[in-house]
């Protein structure tokens, strides 16, 4: 590393600056769109409104994405991909299945509390996508489902309980997703505490619910 190498980093070329600004604008756009769509739904949100909120022209929006559906797709794809990656890392960290379930629940809720709009859209607007868009996001969703479902199945089919538990675990997984996803409608940091606390309570309910001992903590 010579002193010279500082230059490109310290004084980025115009090209580079422009690229970054554009990227920033695209991100801002996705975020604003997500906020509006989370509030009013995809159908009821007009691209005009997104533009208005950003002081950008309607036509200008189309410089950044090529259709309204593609915008929705971008939101869902990025969010889901990011969630999936984060949760996969969390699941891979060492620990018992119970530990991992607990971390996943908290991880999900943490992600949700920092990106509530995007998560709401992922949860409720998959059906607004069609064709390839739909299939691609559906695939991510399925992988995320499997992550949780495998863990639940593992917990429920421990040594002593093989028999009917496995047939049951699909529904327990879906109960868990129900608890997680419904949180959009009521969660309030003030009333309900942190994602960590909420996730802990959910974990306890489930672990007890399926007849296992909760963690010592």
Partner DNA sequence: GATGAATGAGCTTTCATTCAT
Partner DNA sequence: TATGAATGAAAGCTCATTCAT
Using CB under 7 A as the criterion, which residues of the chain lie in contact with DNA when the complex forms? 14, 18-19, 21-22, 25, 45-49, 56-64, 66-69
Long-range CB pairs of 83-88 (<8 Å, 24+ gap) are 83/108, 83/111, 83/119, 83/122, 83/144, 84/140, 84/143, 84/144, 84/147, 86/111, 87/111, 87/144, 87/147, 88/147
Q: Which does residue 129 touch among DNA, its own copies, none (CB within 5 to 8 A, set by kind)?
A: none
Residues contacting its own copies: total by CB under 8 A: 32
Nearer to its own copies, 28 or 204 (CB): 204
Show contacts with its own copies in window 164-193 (CB under 8 A): 168, 170-172, 174-175, 177-183, 186, 191-192
Token pair listed for 11:
């004084």
Q: Is 2 left (phi over 0), alpha (psi -120 to 50) or beta?
A: beta
Q: Which of 6, 12, 27, 43 binds its own copies (CB under 8 A)?
A: 43
How many residues are present in the chain?
217
Select from 9-17, 26-34, 53-61, 207-215 the region that touches its own copies (CB under 8 A): 207-215
């Amino acid at each position: 590393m010579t002193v010279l190498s500082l230059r490109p980093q310290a004084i980025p070329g115009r090209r580079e600056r422009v690229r970054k600004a554009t990227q920033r604008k695209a991100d801002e756009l996705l975020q604003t769109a997500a906020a509006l769509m989370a509030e009013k739904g995809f159908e009821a949100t007009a691209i005009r409104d997104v533009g208005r909120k950003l002081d950008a022209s309607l036509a200008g929006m189309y410089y950044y994405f090529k259709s309204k559906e593609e915008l929705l797709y971008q939101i869902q794809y990025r969010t889901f991909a990011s969630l999936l990656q984060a949760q996969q890392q969390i699941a891979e960290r060492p620990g018992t299945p119970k530990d991992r379930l607990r971390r996943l629940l908290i991880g999900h809720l943490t992600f949700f509390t920092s990106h509530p709009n995007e998560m709401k859209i992922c949860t409720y607007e998959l059906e607004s996508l069609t064709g390839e868009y739909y299939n691609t996001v559906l695939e991510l969703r399925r992988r995320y489902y499997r992550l949780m479902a495998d863990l639940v199945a593992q917990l429920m089919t421990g040594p002593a309980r093989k028999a009917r538990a496995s047939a049951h675990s699909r529904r327990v997984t879906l109960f868990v997703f129900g608890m997680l996803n419904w949180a959009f409608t009521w969660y309030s940091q003030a009333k309900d505490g942190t994602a960590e606390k909420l996730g802990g309570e959910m974990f306890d309910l489930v672990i007890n619910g399926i007849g296992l001992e909760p963690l010592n903590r």
